[in-house]
């Protein structure tokens, strides 16, 4: 893993005018980043990102992708549709999708397959709740979640990104300490090592309230290859600080 990845997740935020202002501020402060940079926006704004970011150092992606290729699935967005807007990435299995939409490990694995088949890199999210952490089940949970994807995509596992996002540290202001995050990242790296001869090719990014203040200490850990950034990706200055820390 030579270059880190900083990917913003706007969640259900944004508007045409606000997006343009935010993206232009990011581009103005981003000459030649030493890491890969991406923004994952709500589906209605992917065309706008394509227009604003084409030819720039920032890639763009979706926050979800359908487990189905096409058909009578009202409200769903297929991987082929995302490809039409030149999406480089698609989040799959974000904890909010698992929690609020009942997505299972198997559904997440299928979504990863769909993304890969369309030439889109899935950012596969795994993570434990506070109750699971307190019960000592962190390793069991994240390994189970990743195992479903490894089983589904086989040798293509080196084409994904893994995002560790402890559910208890998302949008709560709480963050895993660098040591806590590294411990889980090391577990995931070992699991990938058992599935491929080149586990270092798979970026494992941290997605639990990484911000401008804590990014450098988290990114200094040996198995943390970047960040999946929520709230801080809605503020150009904060996001650029995190990108700089990943250089």
Please choose, from the candidates 231, 148, 235, 138, the residue with its C-alpha nearest in 3D space to the C-alpha of residue 187.
138
Binding residues for substrate: 9-11, 171, 209, 230-231
DSSP code at position 233? G
Annotated catalytic residue 151: no
CA–CA separation, 205 vs 224, rounded Å? Answer: 6
Round to whole Å and give the CA distance between 119 and 113: 10
Catalytic residue among 96, 103, 128, 165: 165
> 137 an active-site residue?
no
Dihedral of the CA atoms 180, 182, 183, 184 (nearest 10)? 90
Chain Cα centroid distance, residue 165: 9
Query: Which of the residues 76, 94, 134, 151 is marked catalytic?
Result: 94
Catalytic residue annotation: 94, 165
């Amino acid at each position: 893993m030579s270059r880190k990845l900083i990917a913003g997740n706007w969640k259900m935020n944004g508007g045409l005018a606000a997006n343009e202002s935010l993206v232009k501020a990011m581009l103005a402060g981003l000459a030649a980043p030493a890491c890969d940079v991406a923004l994952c926006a709500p589906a209605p704004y992917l065309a706008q990102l394509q227009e604003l970011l084409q030819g720039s150092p920032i890639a763009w992606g979706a926050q979800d992708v359908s487990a189905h290729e096409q058909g009578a699935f009202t409200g769903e967005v297929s991987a082929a549709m995302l490809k039409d807007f030149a999406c480089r990435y698609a989040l799959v299995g974000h904890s909010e999708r698992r929690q609020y939409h009942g997505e299972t490990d198997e559904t997440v694995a299928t979504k990863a397959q769909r993304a890969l088949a369309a030439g889109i890199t899935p950012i596969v999210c795994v993570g434990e709740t506070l109750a699971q952490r307190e019960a000592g089940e962190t390793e069991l949970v994240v390994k189970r979640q990743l195992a479903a994807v490894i089983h589904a995509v086989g040798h293509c596992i080196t084409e994904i990104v893994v995002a560790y996002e402890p559910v208890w540290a998302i949008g709560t202001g709480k963050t895993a300490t660098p040591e806590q995050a590294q411990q889980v990242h090391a577990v995931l790296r070992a699991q990938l090592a058992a599935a491929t001869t080149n586990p270092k090719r798979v970026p494992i990014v941290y997605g639990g309230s990484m911000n401008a203040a804590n990014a450098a200490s988290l990114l200094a850990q040996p198995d943390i290859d970047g960040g999946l950034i929520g709230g801080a990706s809605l503020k150009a200055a904060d996001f650029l600080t995190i990108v700089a820390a990943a250089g």
